[in-house]
Chains A and B, each alone.
Chain A
Amino acid sequence: MTRYVLMRLVQGVITVWFIATVTFFVMHSIPGNPLLNEKAVSDQVQEQLEKKYGLDKPVIVQYGIYMWNMIRGDFGLSFKQEERPVNKIIAERFPVSAILGILAIVIAGMGGILWGALTALYRNRWPDVVIIILVILGISVPSFVFATVGQLGIVVANRMLGFELLPVAGWGTIWHMLVPALVLGLGTMAFLTRLMRTSMLEIVNADYIRTARSKGVPVAQIFAKHQFRNAILPVVTVLGPSIAAITTGGFVVENVFAIPGLGRTFVEAVQQSDYTVIMGTTVFYGAFLVLMVIVVDLVYALIDPRVRLQ
């Protein structure tokens, strides 16, 4: 077991290295220079700037320098937020995104599994139909529409109540997080609901359920011990990447609700060709994701003893 985990971790490091390399070269192959400014500067000043950030060297040398610094855990200084270390930017922004992401994934996971189980139990009866319609509504509205509508909802609610039920935007207390997390988790929740339902329905017909039923095992026990536990398996599989995606992919939500998270930082960095921030966030995100995948695989093995860890 320990050996397996260690091996996975080593492989993970290699994966991260690959990610860093590919991202580095893709980034440098896109024209656009982080040092260009709206107000043009003379060629001389441009050269001075490029020298300062080491952009005058060949790309391969820059790559070598970057990798060496990365190994030492230094992502360099941001081009746009001048003189600020990328490490510090990530350290500030990631906890925000992580907290929001955890809340969103919990809402999505719990909601998805519960609704999914319910729809499967009430297959083709009205609770199933109602939930499925809601789910489809949930996935057929883009997140930016949800975010805006959700915020407008808060405005209207606050005005009708005459006091502040929830803050419209900003960050800091649990009240700031509820609506953004819900908006962020909605798509995943809908997805998990459907996945859970399918998974449950497949298992209803599985041989071991039939056996258990014919043996006279109480229905509740079948549900709890067999159906539910087995049905969760595929859900857990997608949960891993979803966690990472949600944690860092909240650009729209962070933008609308003025949340100082990593998603916003990344998209803004891409728009401004802020090389070091792009690299730092990508590598960090890659490492985080690889770690989540490893964790999920371990959890998977715990839930499902048939899956052996080789």
Chain B
Amino acid sequence: MVDTVQAPKSSVSTSSVWQLVKYIFLAFTLMLLLLTCLHFVTLGLGIGTESNAAVDFESNSITLNLGSEPPQLNSTRSTDMVSGQILGHVMEGLIRYGPNNEILPGIATSWDISELTGTFYLREDAYWSNGTPVTAHDFVFAWQTAVDPETKSQYAFILYPLKNAEAIKSEIMAVEELGATALNDYTLQVELEQPTPYFIKLLAFFTYLPINREFYESTEGRYGTNAEDLIYNGPFVISKWQHGSRLRLEKNHTYWNKDETRLDAIDFGYILSDPTATINLFATEKIVMAGLQAENIERALANGWPIKEHVDGSVFYLGFNHREERPTSNRNLRKAIQMVCDQEELVFKVLKTPGNRPGESIFPVWLKGVEGFFRDEYPAPKHERNIELAKQYLNNALNELGLSEPPRLMFLTGDSEFSTKHAEYYQNLLKQNLGIEVRIDQQIFQQRLEKMTSGDYDIVAAGWGPDYDDVLTFGDLFTSWNANNRGLFKNDELDQNVQIAQQSSDPRTRMEAMDRVQHILYEEAAIIVEYERGSSYVADDRVQGVTRRAVGTDPDFTRAYLVKPETE
């Protein structure tokens, strides 16, 4: 049999190649045409971000990156850190924090606070960006709005020291009953539910910011959703807010203290969460600040960038599920796990970034005590890894639980890359030392919250950031009535001590109660404190006067200024 079909000598010939070249040429022309069209379409839609340099001396402005976009900027309803940062730049409350975290007069020039009342005297030269004066009525309106059940504010609890606030939120009283009244345009009187020694520190929180009623009502429910649906009384105004891509702040010329604002504009030109991409922006001088992870610290060093450190104030811990049906409700099991933990190993070998401090107590080191720092006055319980002791605890736990082998535990954690490594570290730790099998349950944010709330876990990786500058912001976390106590830990002595701290106005009594709290938490192994978070970041050294803080606006550029390098 012979093949009758002859294969063509060659499937290629010069002319078909020429034909192809013609196609290529045509395609190329079309491509150019398309690019030009797309270019003009993009420009026409106005969805672009201009690519400014990180530091622009000519316009006296800087460019920055935002990790995420503020959901909205209605201060009565904000909950997240990014919103807090922006609000801190464009709004001002009764007080503000200075460069060294001292309390400075804001809209209030002076105040008298006694046990249950407070009077604030407001400055008369403060104006909103639309020209209307900032008055005591604006504060009353904002606070009433925040506790109004209609507003559905999730941070209303921070106003609960105000008289009747909680009752209003619970729909028992009308909003007018709130313990805040404008005696006249520039005098604000406040009544408190019970003595609240830390009340003055709360006033810097964003839920306490003023809102102009007339303007609020004119936006028909859109207040805070767009740049034009807001008016400002702080050092900056939002001049442009392109959702998803850009937020530009410009100097507020109606601000009473405008001479202290030295930058003309702060451009949040990128909304970007990818850490490597953020570093790339910094590397090409597009932004003035970028956070560093363990993975890219060496890159920053090799490039000779100035690296800075910042303690953001939050404490990370392993939370146990104390519900009865869970093995972790057994104290001996929790103690066993506590005894195999070595916080220094975690910080030095797993986190690998400087600035983190091995956790010893739920109260971080920066909290103030009676006179100095709380932790200097009341040292945290001493902890050292002790495998032998841990094994004893485990044996006791197994006897009490009636088990022959260690129970399998569910470790609930988040979906970030670090969460994985962190969970794997504990998985290995518990398996090698105690033979406890740990299953890692990685969940995206909302599902994790759901599982934490419903109690579908044994151990959860959690953290807590401070809302205000007082020990109680951490101290009341594990009380039986706190909704954030999702592991349902219950200890009567702890509850009593927290109540003492809430009601007493004597600092020593309060701090002693809090000292009991940190010891109870350790003795009961209610949680295992892992570390106090510190972060490293690279910052352009042509920008000076930036304040970083644990509580309040962070980072704070309101007093930042530009310095020209000498060599140029």
Contact = CB atoms under 8 A, between A and B. Distances in A.
Interface of A: 30-34, 36-45, 48-49, 52, 80-84, 89, 92-93, 95-96, 99, 102-103, 106-107, 110, 114, 117-118, 120-123, 148, 151-152, 154-155, 158-159, 164, 167-174, 176-177, 204, 210, 213, 218-220, 222-224, 228, 255-260, 264-265, 270-273
B149 to A, nearest CB: 5
A41 B154 contact: yes
B79 interface: yes
B251 interface: no
B284 A83 contact: no
B281 interface: yes
Interface in B450-468: 450-451, 453-454
Contacts of A172: 42-43, 47-51
A45 B156 contact: yes
Contact of B272 (A159, A204, A258): A258
Given A114-B23, A172-B48, A219 B152 contact: no
A192 to B, nearest CB: 13
Contact of A159 (B30, B284, B446): B284
A82 B154 CA distance: 13
Interface stretch (B33-41, B111-119, B495-503): B33-41
Contacts of B187: none
Given A99-B41, A102-B38, A255-B277, 4 more contacts: A81-B72, A151-B276, A168-B286, A204-B11
A169 B225 contact: no
B8 A32 contact: no
Given A114-B20, A255-B274, A33 B450 contact: yes
B242 A118 contact: no
Contacts of B451: 31
Given A39-B484, A114-B27, A169 B446 contact: no
A174 B34 CA distance: 11
A36 B225 contact: no
A39 B154 contact: yes
A169 B272 CA distance: 9
B551 to A, nearest CB: 15
B415 interface: yes
A169 B270 contact: yes
A71 B175 CA distance: 39
B42 A99 contact: yes
- Give me the 6 closest cross-chain CB pairs, A-B, nearest first: A172-B48, A260-B244, A40-B483, A220-B15, A32-B446, A273-B446
Contacts of B283: 155, 159, 168
A272 B20 CA distance: 50
B445 A31 contact: no
A45 B284 CA distance: 46
Given A89-B243, A114-B23, A37 B38 contact: no
B19 A224 contact: yes
B449 interface: yes
Contacts of B17: 121
Contacts of A82: 71-72, 74, 77, 225
B231 to A, nearest CB: 17
Question: Is the contact region of chain A dominated by helix, strand, or loop, or is it mixed?
Answer: helix
A30 B149 CA distance: 28
Contact of A40 (B36, B245, B447, B486): B486
B277 A44 contact: no
Contacts, number: 225
A265 B244 contact: yes
Interface of B: 5, 8, 11-13, 15-20, 23-24, 27, 30-31, 34-36, 38-39, 41-43, 45, 47-51, 65, 69, 71-72, 74, 77, 79, 149, 152, 154-157, 169-171, 221-222, 224-225, 242-245, 269-274, 276-277, 280-281, 283-284, 286, 415, 444-447, 449-451, 453-454, 482-484, 486
A120 to B, nearest CB: 7
Contacts of A32: 444, 446-447, 449-450
B276 A148 contact: yes
A199 to B, nearest CB: 14
Contacts of B157: 41-42
A262 B546 CA distance: 34
B11 A123 contact: yes
A95 B44 CA distance: 11
Contacts of A121: 11-12, 16-17, 20
A103 B27 contact: no
B11 A120 contact: yes
Nearest to A156: B283
Given A271-B415, A271-B446, A38 B79 contact: yes
B465 to A, nearest CB: 9
B470 to A, nearest CB: 16
Nearest to B149: A48
Given A52-B152, A114-B24, A260 B11 contact: no
B42 A170 contact: no
**Most interface-central of B48, B221, B484 (chain A CB within 10 A):** B48
A271 B444 contact: yes
B12 A171 contact: no
B41 A223 contact: no
Nearest to B40: A174
Given A52-B152, A81-B243, A258-B271, A174 B39 contact: yes
26 contacts: A31-B451, A34-B446, A36-B450, A40-B453, A82-B77, A82-B225, A93-B244, A103-B34, A103-B35, A114-B23, A114-B24, A117-B20, A117-B23, A121-B11, A121-B17, A121-B20, A148-B277, A164-B51, A168-B277, A170-B49, A171-B47, A173-B43, A210-B5, A255-B272, A256-B276, A256-B277
A122 B270 CA distance: 46
A294 B159 CA distance: 57
A41 to B, nearest CB: 5
A124 B89 CA distance: 65
A52 B151 CA distance: 10
B299 to A, nearest CB: 10
A258 B245 contact: yes
Contact of B47 (A30, A39, A95, A174): A95
A63 B481 CA distance: 36
**Most interface-central of B12, B224, B271 (chain A CB within 10 A):** B12
Contacts of B482: 40
Nearest to A177: B38
B281 A169 contact: yes
Nearest to B271: A258
A92 B47 contact: yes
Contacts of A107: 31
Contacts of B13: 219-220
Given A45-B154, A172-B51, A223-B19, A110 B71 contact: no
A220 B446 contact: no
Contacts of B169: 44-45
Given A82-B77, A223-B16, A260 B47 contact: yes
B274 A256 contact: yes
Contacts of B446: 32-34, 36, 271-273
Contacts of B149: 48
B31 A106 contact: yes
Contacts of A49: 152, 154
B39 to A, nearest CB: 4
Given A38-B79, A171-B47, A84 B42 contact: no
